Structure 1
Amino acid sequence: MKKGYYIFPCGYESTTKEYSGVLKKIDMQCTELRKYYDVDYKLIFEKKPKAKIVKVIRRLPWVSANRDYDRLIEEFDNPAFVYIRRVTADKCFIAFLRKIKEKYPNCKIIEEIYSYPYEADEYQRLIDKPNLWKDRYYRKQLKLYVDRLATYSDDKEIFGIKTINQMNGINVNSIPRIRRNEEKKETLDLIFVGYMQKHHGLERIIRGLRDYYNCDIQKRVVIAHLVGDGPETAFYRELTEKYNLSSKVIFHGKMYGEELDRIYDMCDIGISSLGFYKINIQVSSALKSREYLAKGMPMINGNPTDVFEQYDCDFYKEFPNNDSFIDIDSVVSWYSTLLEKYGTTEKLSIAIRQYALEHIDNSITIKPIRNYIGD
Structure 2
Amino acid sequence: MKVLYVAIRGELSEGSGVLKKIIAQVDGLNNCGVNTKGMIFYTKDPDKISRQFHNNIIFHEIKYTHSFFQKTWYKNLILYNKIIQEIQKEEFDLLYFRYPKASSQLLRLVKQFPFKIIFEHQTKELDEIKQTQGNSNKEYWVEKYLAPYIFGYVKGFVAVTNEIKRYERKRYSYYNSRNKKESLVLGNGMDVEKLPLRKVPPYDKAKLELLFVGQIAPWHGVDRVIKGIASYKGSVNITFHIVGTGNELKNLINLSKKLELHDRVLFYEELSGEQLDKLFNKCHIAVAPLALYRKNLNESSALKTREYVARGIPFITSHNDPDIKMKSSIRNYILRVNDNNEPIDIEEIIQFTNRMYQIDGFENHFREFALRSIDMKIKMQRLKQFFEKCFIEEK
- Alpha-carbon distance, 1:296 to partner: 0.5
Is 1:26 the counterpart of 2:22 in the alignment? yes
Kept in 2, the 8 Å contact 1:303–1:318? The answer is: yes
For 2:101, give the aligned amino acid.
T
Paired positions, count: 353
Kept in 2, the 8 Å contact 1:164–1:368? The answer is: no
Of 209, 220, 224, 1:204 maps to: 224
- Alpha-carbon distance, 1:266 to partner: 0.3
Distance 2:136 2:73 in 1: 7
- Alpha-carbon distance, 1:65 to partner: 4.4
Of 187, 192, 196, 2:207 maps to: 187
Distance 1:89 1:47 in 2: 19
Of 277, 290, 295, 1:274 maps to: 290
Q: What is residue 351 of structure 2 aligned with on the other side?
A: 333
Of 67, 70, 79, 2:84 maps to: 70
- Alpha-carbon distance, 1:28 to partner: 1.0
Kept in 2, the 8 Å contact 1:304–1:318? The answer is: no
Structure 1 range deviating more: 133-142 or 194-203: 133-142
Kept in 1, the 8 Å contact 2:121–2:158? The answer is: yes
Determine helix, strand or coil for the equivalent of 1:374: helix
Counterparts in 2 of 1:339 and 1:19: CA distance versus 1, 3 Å: closer
Q: What is residue 360 of structure 1 aligned with on the other side?
A: 374
Kept in 2, the 8 Å contact 1:274–1:301? The answer is: yes
Kept in 1, the 8 Å contact 2:241–2:267? The answer is: yes
1:291-310 mapped onto 2 (5 Å cutoff): 291-309=307-325
Counterparts in 2 of 1:9 and 1:247: CA distance versus 1, 3 Å: closer
Determine helix, strand or coil for the equivalent of 2:316: strand
Determine helix, strand or coil for the equivalent of 1:177: coil
The alignment's TM-score, normalised by the length of structure 2, stands at 0.82
Of 189, 197, 219, 1:169 maps to: 189
Kept in 2, the 8 Å contact 1:240–1:249? The answer is: yes
Q: What is residue 44 of structure 2 aligned with on the other side?
A: none
Kept in 2, the 8 Å contact 1:10–1:87? The answer is: no
Superposed CA deviations along residues 42-82 of structure 1, whole A, max 9, x for unmatched, are 22458444333443x5369xx954322332222223x3322
For 1:38, give the aligned amino acid.
N
Percent same amino acid among aligned pairs?
A: 24
Q: What is residue 83 of structure 1 aligned with on the other side?
A: 96
For 1:286, give the aligned amino acid.
A
Structure 2: state its 5+ residue gaps. 42-59, 174-180, 390-395
Superposed CA deviations along residues 109-162 of structure 1, whole A, max 9, x for unmatched, are 2110122x1223245226992222222232122333211110012125242244
Q: What is residue 246 of structure 1 aligned with on the other side?
A: 262
Structure 1 range deviating more: 273-282 or 161-170: 161-170
Of 37, 42, 45, 1:40 maps to: 37
Structure 1: state its 5+ residue gaps. none
For 1:202, give the aligned amino acid.
V
Distance 2:88 2:327 in 1: 45
Structure 1 range deviating more: 298-307 or 37-46: 37-46
Counterparts in 2 of 1:137 and 1:181: CA distance versus 1, 3 Å: closer
Determine helix, strand or coil for the equivalent of 2:245: coil
Structure 1 range deviating more: 303-312 or 162-171: 303-312
Distance 1:231 1:135 in 2: 21
Is 1:351 the counterpart of 2:365 in the alignment? yes
Structure 1 range deviating more: 318-327 or 365-374: 365-374
Distance 1:287 1:310 in 2: 17
The alignment's TM-score, normalised by the length of structure 1, stands at 0.86
For 1:52, give the aligned amino acid.
S
- Alpha-carbon distance, 1:311 to partner: 4.2
Superposed CA deviations along residues 250-275 of structure 1, whole A, max 9, x for unmatched, are 11222121111111110111111112
Is 1:144 the counterpart of 2:141 in the alignment? no
Kept in 1, the 8 Å contact 2:245–2:270? The answer is: yes
Distance 2:160 2:136 in 1: 24
Coordinate RMSD, CA, aligned: 2.5
Determine helix, strand or coil for the equivalent of 1:307: coil
- Alpha-carbon distance, 1:169 to partner: 1.1
Structure 1 range deviating more: 25-34 or 161-170: 161-170
- Alpha-carbon distance, 1:292 to partner: 0.5
For 1:135, give the aligned amino acid.
E
For 2:148, give the aligned amino acid.
K
Distance 1:371 1:138 in 2: 30
For 2:126, give the aligned amino acid.
E
Superposed CA deviations along residues 192-217 of structure 1, whole A, max 9, x for unmatched, are 011121111111001111111xx2x3
Is 1:321 the counterpart of 2:324 in the alignment? no
Superposed CA deviations along residues 310-350 of structure 1, whole A, max 9, x for unmatched, are 6422111111111011111111111111222x23xxx1211
